[in-house]
Structure 1
Amino acid sequence: MVDAERVQLALAAGAIIGTWFWDIVADRFMIDEAFANAFGLDPALGREGIPLAQIVATVHPDDQAGLVVAINAAVQRGGAYAHQYRVRRHTGRYHWLEANGRVELGPDGTPLRFPGVLIDVASRRLEHILNELGERLRTLDDPHEMALLASETVGTALDLSRVAYGDMDAAGRHMIIHQDWLAPDQASLAGTHDFETYGSYIESLRRGEDVVIDDIASDPRTADQATSFRSIAVRSLVNLPLMDRGRLKVVFCLNQDEPRAWTADEVLFARRVMDRTEVEIARRAAEHRLRDMNASLEKQVAAQTAERDRIWQLSGDMLGVADDQGIWLSINPAWTRTLGWRQEEIVGHTSEWMEHPDDVAKTRSEIGHLAAGRETFEFENRFRSKERGYRTLSWTAVPENGLLYCVARDVTDERAQAVAITEQSAAQERTWHFSPDLLSVIDMRSTLFDRVNPAWTAALGWRADEIEGASYQGFVHADDVGASLSAFDRVRAGSPVLRFENRYRTKAGEWRRLSWVAFPEGDKLYSSARDITAEAEQAEALSDANELIAAKERAEQQQRELQNEMAHRIKNTLAMVKAIVSQTMRHADTKEEAAVTIDQRIAALSSAQDLLRQTTYASATIHEVVRGALKVHLESDDRVTIEGVRLDLPSQAALGLSLAIHELATNAAKYGALSNETGHIRISWRHEADDAFRFEWREAGGPEVVKPARRGFGSRLTNQIVPSYFDGSGETAFTPDGLCYVLAGTLPRETPPSAEPSEARPVADHE
C-alpha cells in the first residue's frame, strides 16, 4: 500500500521519468524512451529488450553492488521493490533516482516478470541534506568550521570538484579563502585572490547578483582568463554573493573541473545552504557579543565593589547604613575600633541602648528629621563604649531611598579639651585665646579685620599682625568672593548669619573650608569660623561610597534586565523575520518579487526597531509609530491626516502596527490613494472602555478600487498577524470611496493611555 501511494504521489508531482518491464526468465529488460534517456541508453535497444547487466552498468560504481543485492532479494522473495541509486545520464553526470516495482511469481514460486517505474528523487534528497545541515550547524561554534561544513554539504550533494567560502576585503577587490572543501585529487585554493585575474563579473557580485558560468572558455565574462582558470582546474563555476548593508561581504564559490550545465535547482540549493549557514554564523556572533558584554559588566562591578570595600574597611571614621527607623543595617570596622562593640552586637538594632540617657530624645528627633528628607551636619551625641565610658560623636548623615548613610567622628577628646578651657577661665579673653574656632572682629565700614584670635594662626598659618588691618576679601577664594559679599551685606543690614561656608587661603598657599557664624553689633561684625575641611572630605568620601553601592546595584539590575530583554527580543525578532520570509516566499510569484518584498518588510521592521531604540525600547507612542512607518511613503505633507488620543504601545504591538501601516501605505502607493495626485488617507484610533482599541485606515480620492484576485501574505499580516498583538481582529474592505482597514482589539494593561487628546492634522504637523 505504501509503494502504491508513493507511485501515485510521484505521478501527481510529475516525478516519474520512465517505466520498465523485465522478463526474468528470458532476461529481456524492456524500457520506454524516458527510461532509456534516464540511463543514457539507446531507446531502440530498450524496445527490443537488453540484459539486466547492461542496465546495471550505467549505475554509479559505488551504488552497483547495493543495487544488485536489492534486485536479487526482490527476485527471491517476490513482491514490492524500491531502491535509490545514481545513474549516469546522457550528459555524463550522475542523477539520483528511485526504482519502484514488483516481482511477479508463478504458481510454483518461480520469478517470472518484474515491471516498475523510475522516480526522480533528486529534489527530495537535496531537501533532506539541507535539513541535516541545519542540525549539524547547531553543534558548531566556529564560523570557519560552519563555512567548511556548508562547502562540504554542497560539494558532496552536487558532486563538485571544489567548494569554498571567500571573505571580501574592505575594498571589495580581493577574496580571502581560509579553507576549501576538495574532491579527491583537487588542489586547494586557500589564500588571497584578486578578482581581476579571473574575469569581469565582479561588478555583478557587487550588485548582489548570482554569477553562473557553464563553460569558462566560451562565456564572454571569463573567456579571456580561461588560462588562469585552467591552471586551478576550474572549467565552470557558480559564485553566490552575500551582501552586508549594500557591501559585498562573502562569495560562496562552487567549482567544477569540466563544463557543466548548472540547473536552477542546484543554484537554489547552494543559495539555501549559504543562507542557512549565515543565519547560524550571525547567531553565534550575537551570542559571543552578549557573553563578552556580560563579562565586561561583571569586571566593572567587581572593580567598583572592591574600591568601595577598601574605603569602607580603612576609613578611620565610623561609617554606617541604617533604615528610616534608625536600625543599623551595616557598619564598618571603625565602630569596633572606636567603641569596642562587635558588629553583630550593633547590626539589627537601633543605637538607643548605647546612647547617653540625656541624648536619647534629641537623637530620636534627629533620626526623624533624616527620615523626612533633611540632611544632618555636625550633630553630636554620646555613645557608651565597651571599656572607655561614653564617647562624644559628631555626625554627618544624608537620607537616600529610604536609607540613612551616616559618618561619625569621635570628638570626645576635642570636646573635653574645649570644656576644660571654658571651665578654667570664664574670662572672655581666655575664651578668645583658647577657642579652637577662628574668632574675629571686623569693621563693617571698611571690611578690615580689627582683631583675630590665635586660632587663625593655628588653622591658616597667618600671624595676627598679618591679618589685622587687612580686608577679609584678600583671603577668600575667588569663587567664593561673591557669596561672601552677600553674606557680609546681610550682616551689615542687621541679620545674623548662623551658617555660611567659604574657603580661606593659608599662608602655605592651601585652601581650608570654614563654616561661619556671625552677628552684628554697632559697626562691628563679631564672627566665629570653624575649619570643616576634614568633615567636608569625609562627607565627600561617604557620598562616593554611597554612589559606588548604588552603582553596583544598578549595574547588577541592568545586567539582569539586559540579559532578559536581549533573549526576549532576539526570539521575537527572529520569529517575526522567519514569518515574513517564509510567508512572502510562499505567496510571491517570482524570486525577484519575494526579494524586494522581504527587503521592504524587514526595512519596515528595522525602522520600527530604530523608533523603539530612540524611545525607551519597551514602548513607543502610537503617533511616533504611525509617523515613522509613513515617512518613507509620503512626498507631500498634506496627503495624510491623523487623529487620536496619545497612547503608548508596547514593543511587540508597535512593531506589528508599523508593519501593517507599511503594507497599507505600499498598497496605497501602488494602487490606492497615494498613486495619484489627489488621493487622501485618514488615519484614526480611539481608546474606549475596558481598554478597547480601534484603529482605522480610510482612503479617498484615489483610483477606482478593485478587489484583488487573491490575497497574499500582506493580507494575512494586516488581517490576522498584527491583530493578534491586540487580541483582536482586522478587516479590509474595498468600498466605492476607497480601501478601508479596521483593526479592533484591546490595549495591554501595563501601558495605560494618556488622557491628552490629539486633534486631527496632517502627519507632517504632528510633532
Structure 2
Amino acid sequence: MRRVTDTHNLTWQVSPDLLGIVNQAGVFVETNPAWQTVLGWTEPEIRSMVFTDFLHPDDMDRTLALFTSLKAGEPALHFENRYRCKDGSYRWLSWVAVPEGDIFVCSARDVTKDKANVRALQSSEDEAALREQFIAILGHDLRNPLAAIGSAVRIALRQSHDEKIAATLKAIDGSAERMAKLIDTIMDFARARLGGGIPVDLRRVENLQKGFECVVDEIRIAHPERKFETSFKFEDVLVCDAARLDQLLSNLVANAVTHGPQDEPISVVTDKADGSFVLSVGNSGNKIPGDVIPNLFKPFERTEEGASLQGLGLGLYIADQIAKAHSGELNVTSSEDRTVFTLAIPLERKS
C-alpha cells in the first residue's frame, strides 16, 4: 500500500489543494502540480527557496511560531496565511500540517475567494449600519431641533414686534419649514435607495379628491400668479397610501410650476382607464429633449440648468418610487407645446 507521502499517486497529481513535504530546514522538497496552478511556481523554483520566502511580511512571525510547534510534534489545523504568487500577488491559504518522522506533510486550500466574500459581507453589514445611523440622524437628531426652532419662532410671532423684526421671524419660520420638507425628501431618498423602496401604508381610500384639492390649493397659495385647472373624475375606491399620493401629486405640480410658462394653466386630472386609477399633471412649454426623458426619474437630475425639484433634484425620483410602491407606473409624454406626467395604478393589485 502506498503512503500518503507517495508523490507518484493519483491523488497527489490531481488534487486541487496544494500538497507538499517540508524538511526540517523549511524547504518544500516535494510539491504537487497544484502549486504551479495556484501560485505559478515550478517545482525546481520552490525547492530553491524556504517557506519564509513565500510569506506575506505580516504573517511571518506567527507562521514561524507555528513551524516551531510543528518541530515539537504538534500538528497544525486550518492555519491561514498568505503566500506570494510568482506574479507578486498573494493568495490566502488554509493549512493542515502533520509531523511524520523528520518531515512535515502539508496540504493547503486556496481560500482567497472565501476571504473576499467575508470582507464583502462585512462591508454590507457596515453599510447597513451606516444607513440606519444616517436615517436616524435625519429623523431625530435634525428634525427635533428644527421643530424646536419652528415652535420658538411661532411663539415669538405672537408677541408685538416692529415690522422689521416680525418680517425676520416670518422668514426664519419659512426657512425652518422648507428645511423640514428637505429632511423629509432626503429621508425618502435614503429609504428608497438604501432601504429597499419608499414605505407605504396601503388602505382602502374612498375619497382621494379631498387630499388632491388641498395639495393644489397649497401650491396655488404659494404661486398666486399661476392658474390651475382640475378635473377629478375618479370616484371609485383605491387601495393606496393617500398621504404618499398627495406627496406624489405635490412633486408633479411643483415640477410643472418650475418648468411651465407662467401665463399657461397647469392641469390636474384623475380618471379611470383600462382597469387603473389614472392621475395626470400637464403643463405647456418646450418639449423635453428625447435624450433627457430616460433620466428624468433618476435622483439629482434636472431638465435645465438651475432648475429645482424639491430643491435637490429628487422630486420626480421620489414620485416614481411612490408609484412603484403602489405597483403602478409613472410615465411622461412631451410634445412641442405640452408635457404630461401620468400615474397609473391597477385597481386590482396582483398577489
Q: TM-score, normalised by structure 2?
A: 0.40
Higher strand share: 1
Q: TM-score, normalised by structure 1?
A: 0.19
- Structure of higher RCO (CA pairs closer than 8 Å, 6+ residues apart): 2
